Amino acid sequence: MTSKQLFRILAAAAAGAVIVAQFFQPEIPAPPQPKPGAGYDAVVTDARVKTILRRACADCHSNDTVWPWYSHISPVSHMVANDVVRGRRQLNFSTVTSLSEDQMGEIHDVVNFGDMPPKAYTLIHPGAKLSPADAELLKQWALGELPPQN
């Protein structure tokens, strides 16, 4: 067998694997529906903070996930679903009714360490990156030290 033939066989096998993989899609449990009075409006009164959370966190931490076409293609679909399911479980801005001091502390820390939004995500969604000013505002909010809006 020539290396060209070998390459063709491997390419066909890879293409076949990708096609077969489409039949194995992640199961995404329906997120809990928000009770009246829950959600961003219940826990965030500052419009600036709300805008940042919606832009940078909502895909994984709310029910308002935007699912682009590639999020339906396996194996990417599994990675995205994993992020969304785990993210919502930790913190869902659509259904929260209050945020405890511990949760605010966690939000402060993930922003402070630059852990959220995850790097792999902002690579594909550059618009979700936190500017230094965004990060500062979120941290002040999480500490309960938000300066008044001017």
In terms of CB distance, is 38 or 60 closer to ligand HEC? 60
Distance CA 97, CA 146 (A): 20
Q: How far is the CB of 124 from ligand HEC (least distance, A)?
A: 9
Q: How far is the CB of 68 from ligand HEC (least distance, A)?
A: 12
In terms of CB distance, is 8 or 89 closer to ligand HEC? 89
Q: CA–CA distance from 97 to each of 30, 80, 83, 122 (Å)? A: 19, 26, 22, 28
Q: How far is the CB of 144 from ligand HEC (least distance, A)?
A: 16
- Cβ–Cβ < 8 Å for 88, 61: yes
Q: Which of 36, 41, 49, 25 is nearest to 130 (CA)?
A: 49
Q: How far is the CB of 6 from ligand HEC (least distance, A)?
A: 38
Structure tokens at 115: 């852990």
In terms of CB distance, is 10 or 45 closer to ligand HEC? 45
- How many other β-carbons are positioned within 10 Å of the β-carbon of residue 48? 15
Q: Which residues bind ligand HEC (CB under 6 A)?
A: 56-57, 59-61, 83, 86-87, 90-91, 106-107, 110-111, 116-118, 121, 130
In terms of CB distance, is 12 or 143 closer to ligand HEC? 143
